[in-house]
């Protein structure tokens, strides 16, 4: 840590609090998904399949993961009876994925449970507190994204 940040213990405390918050959000997402018998990644995939314009290859690019990983996740959802696949009407090379009745029910249950959690936790805070949090989170996100963008070249593998 630099000299400037060493004289500001609140920086380390803020980072610790943010890490704790991120870990708790991750835990809660895992819990919600587990309550309907799927994993967190499958939940995200299930929500994407619910959208009319779902395309596995685009989802893989957005999530920066391999198409094979998305195919595995879709196969798991299909095996669980939550998603069905059919051949695309316009392009026979494309598969069209849709939620089954069970998939829609699972997504509804997760969304209801998530809303109950939002009600139980977030309504404790005043509108003023929430607006302050949003303002700070947006500023922090912008600063982190800018820093990451500036240093992206440092993390890319060298090409030969």
Report pLDDT digits (tens) over 22-55: 999 999 999 988 988 888 888 889 999 998 778 8
pLDDT > 70? residue 4: no
Domain 3-152 grouped into CATH 1.10.10.10: yes
- Per-domain residue ranges of the chain: 3-152
Q: What is the dihedral of CA 1, 19, 12, 14, to 10 degrees?
A: 130
- The reported pTM is 0.73
Q: Which two tokens stand for residue 45?
A: 């995939």
b vs e for 4-14, b when ≥16 Cβ sit within 10 Å of the residue's Cβ?
A: eeeeeeeeeee
* Spacing of C-alpha 95 from chain mean position: 24
Cα gap 67→27, rounded to integer Å: 26
What does the pLDDT read at residue 114? Answer: 92
Per-residue b/e over 74-93, b at no fewer than 16 CB within 10 Å?
A: bebbeebebbbeeeeeeeee
């Amino acid at each position: 840590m630099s000299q400037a940040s060493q004289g500001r213990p609140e920086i380390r405390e803020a980072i610790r609090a943010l890490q704790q918050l991120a870990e708790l959000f991750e835990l809660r997402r895992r819990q919600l998904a587990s309550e309907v018998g799927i994993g967190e990644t499958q939940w995200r995939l299930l929500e994407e399949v619910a959208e009319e314009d779902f395309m596995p290859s685009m989802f893989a690019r957005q999530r920066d993961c391999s198409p094979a990983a998305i195919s595995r996740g879709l196969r798991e959802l299909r095996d669980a009876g939550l998603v069905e696949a059919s051949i695309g009407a316009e392009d026979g090379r494309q598969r069209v994925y849709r939620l089954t009745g069970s998939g829609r029910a699972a997504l509804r249950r997760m969304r209801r449970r998530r809303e109950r959690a939002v009600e139980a936790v977030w309504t404790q805070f005043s509108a003023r507190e929430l607006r302050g949090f949003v303002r700070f989170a947006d500023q922090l996100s912008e600063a982190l994204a800018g820093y990451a963008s500036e240093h992206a070249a440092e993390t890319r593998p060298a090409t030969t």
